[in-house]
Amino acid sequence: MIVVMKPTATEEELQRVLERVDALGLEAHLSSGESHTIIGLIGDTGRISRNAFEVMPGVERVVRIAEPFKLANREFHPKDTIIQVGDVTIGGDQIVIMAGPCSVESRSQLLEIAHAVKEAGAHILRGGAFKPRSSPYSFQGLGEEGLKYLAEAREIYGMPIITEVMAPEEVDLVASYADILQIGARNMQNYRLLQAVGKQDKPVFLKRGLSGTLQELLMSAEYVMANGNPNVMVVERGIRTYETYTRNTFDINAIPALKQLTHLPVIGDPSHGTGKWRLVAPVAKAAIAAGADGLMIEVHPRPAEAFSDGAQSLKPKRFQALMDDLRILTAALGRSL
Ligand code: PEP
Ligand code: MN
């Protein structure tokens, strides 16, 4: 439920509404727009009638929110959420590009790729140190050693770093190195993990599950936010469909739908969304044209030798060409890169 205050409402009228929210055992979430202040009510609002607030002085109207996600809901918070990571602003006019290898394989591999993506204009360096692999016999990541290489690359190239955290007990360790914590598709509904990243203050990059609906994705964002962390990005990375030509089916609908449903930044990942490097650039452009606030792109100088996801990795030259195209596209859209 949201209570919309009149533009003429006084501070005292607002306080009275907040007191009633408290007396009803609910929590208030305030959002001030240009003319209206909106109070989002969090808690079991099903038992409360709209009338409880509608009759109060200063109240313009009371609206019941149909969706179960509240803090993540755009109706609760009409303005876009902006997440600041060092010098990088996510969710504003600028399109933010996160690029790097699927896995951190070695110090030299990571530094080589960090240099290449920085040169091409990427803003944030990605790289997995803890890898969620389908097979227990596949490379599982370098663990803390990989985090150290990422931190070194951040120092050298001046780029914030994003990396995946897979377990609640590893959140503190990963957060002590990373600027952004990635929750992988396979963990989208790992509620203990969502609670753990909600209780620390690094921004969270939440990937859509392999068969997660948009509502389930936003309920997972809600878990993080309800635990105290408002800085969540939601990520379309492709879903399972009957199509087997591509690794996943990139759901282009998800981008504008999420932009309408939530105020959180929406990011596209065409690398995992397609699984094929030849499809990455066109789908990346489609995601930006559809309204995404940024992209995650896997880059590797020798894809055939990559420890993971070589088939979907762009060589640095092709990544550079994509960035050149994105510069033209973002300008046409009234955004920047
Ligand atoms: C990744 O980013 O390398 C990754 C494992 O992604 P996802 O969780 O989307 O499969
Ligand atoms: Mn990958």
Q: What would you measure as the largest C-alpha separation in the chain, in angstroms?
A: 68
pLDDT at 150 over 90: yes
DSSP codes joined into one string, 178-191: -SEEEE-GGGTT-H
Based on the fold, state whether residues 18 and 112 are members of the same structural domain: no
The yes-or-no verdict on residue 191 having pLDDT over 90 is yes
- Residues near ion ligand 2 (Cβ under 5 Å): 102, 309
If asked whether residues 57 and 89 sit together in one domain, one would say no
Task: Select from 35, 63, 91 the last residue of a domain.
Answer: 63
> What distance in angstroms lies between residue 271's CA and the mean position of ligand 2's atoms?
8
For the residues 16-42, what does the mean pLDDT come to?
92
Look at residue 307 and tell me whether its pLDDT is greater than 90. Answer: yes
| Average pLDDT over every residue of 76-86 | 96
Residue 72 falls within a domain, yes or no?
A: no
- Sheet arrangement for strand 37-42: 27-32, 37-42, 2-5, 59-63
Higher local confidence (pLDDT), 43 or 310: 310
pLDDT at 74 over 90: yes
pLDDT band at residue 317, thresholds of 50, 70 and 90?
very high
- Ligand positioned closest to the Cα atom of 310: 2
Q: What is the pLDDT of residue 241?
A: 98
Would the pLDDT of 17 be above 90? Answer: yes
| pLDDT of res. 337 | 96
Shortest-distance atom of ligand 1 to CA 126: 2
Would you place residue 66 in the very low, low, confident or very high pLDDT band (cuts 50, 70, 90)? confident
- Which CATH number covers residue 58? 3.30.70.1140
User: Three-state DSSP class for 78?
Assistant: coil
Mutate to test the pocket of ligand 1, among 237, 239, 271 (most ligand atoms within 8 A of CB): 237
Domain assignment present for 75: no
Q: What's residue 1's pLDDT?
A: 92
Asked if 57 and 91 sit in the same domain, the reply is no
pLDDT, position 35: 83
pLDDT, tens digit, for every residue of 45-57?
A: 888 999 999 999 9
Ligand 1 atom nearest 128 alpha carbon: 3
Count up the domains in the chain and report the number: 2
Residues 253 and 148 in one domain: yes
Alpha-carbon gap, residue 287 to 264, rounded angstroms? 16
**Ligand that comes closest to the CA of residue 275:** 2
Is 68 inside any structural domain? Answer: no
Q: Does residue 152 have a pLDDT over 90?
A: yes
Ligand 2 centroid from CA 313, angstroms: 9
Closest alpha carbon to 298 in 32, 98, 23: 98
Same-domain pairing of 162 and 54: no
Phi, psi of 334 (to 5 degrees): 80, 20
Query: What pLDDT sits at residue 316?
Result: 98
Residues with CB under 6 A from ligand 1: 102, 128, 132, 184-186, 207, 237, 272
Q: Does residue 69 belong to any structural domain of this protein?
A: no
Question: Residue 205 in contact with residue 267, Cβ under 8 Å?
Answer: yes
For ligand 1, atom 9, the nearest C-alpha belongs to 185
- Domain extent for 22: 2-63
User: Which of 102, 188, 207 has the most ligand 1 atoms within 8 A of CB, as the residue to mutate?
Assistant: 207
Give the closest residue (by CA) to ligand 1 atom 4.
184
Grouping H, G, I as helix, E, B as strand and the rest as coil, residue 28 is strand
Residue 6 shares a structural domain with residue 136? no
Q: What band does 36 get if pLDDT is binned at 50, 70 and 90?
A: confident
Question: How far apart, in whole angstroms, are the C-alpha atoms of residue 332 and residue 227?
Answer: 39
How many angstroms does the Cα of residue 131 sit away from the middle of ligand 1?
8
Model confidence pLDDT, tens digit, residues 252-295: 999 999 999 999 999 999 999 999 999 999 999 999 999 999 99
pLDDT (tens digit, 9 = 90+) per residue, 203-221?
Answer: 999 999 999 999 999 999 9
Atom number, ligand 1, closest to the C-alpha of residue 184: 8
Q: Is residue 337 part of a domain?
A: no
Q: How confident is the model at residue 32 (pLDDT cuts 50, 70, 90)?
A: confident
Residue nearest to atom 8 of ligand 1 (CA): 184
For residue 237, which atom of ligand 1 is closest to its CA?
A: 9
Contacts of 337 (CB under 8 A, 6+ apart): 94, 95, 97, 121, 323, 326, 327, 330
pLDDT at 250: 98
Per-residue pLDDT tens digits for 90-128? 999 999 999 999 999 999 999 999 999 999 999 999 999
